Amino acid sequence: MSSVADHGDSSTPVVPNMAIGSDVWPGLSKLSEECGELIQVIGKIAAYPDSPHPDGSDLRQRLMEEMADVAAAIEFVQITNWEAFNPTAFTDRRRLKLGRFLRWHKDEQGRAAS
């Protein structure tokens, strides 16, 4: 499927808002699509955590690929919508959340071991 829509009233194709190539929030629809694909794989892992998925795919490989796709889509949105982002605030927030998640993980693992 093309990201460029032909609305039929002009010979010039129109790029939908939020699509890659748009002037309005470029890449946001791709980020949404990639997040959906990642959620789909996580759902499959939740249902089949220790066994192959019935569709025969390697869920660890698919998880890695979809996480990479989401990371790329996030970076694309950052780059192409830079005026909407405060890079310092973004980095600070990312570090804050990562630190919190790692602390929660360590706390939970300590609790489980005791």
Residues within the interface to Mg ion (CB under 5 A): 34, 37, 69
Nearest residue to Mg ion, by Cβ distance, number only: 69
In the numeric block, which tokens belong to residue 38? 């990642």
Give whichever of 39 and 102 is closer to Mg ion, judged by the CB atom: 39
CB of 36 to Mg ion, least distance (A): 9
* CA atoms of 31 and 22, how far apart (whole Å): 14
* CA atoms of 75 and 105, how far apart (whole Å): 26
CB of 34 to Mg ion, least distance (A): 5
CB 78 within 8 A of CB 71: no
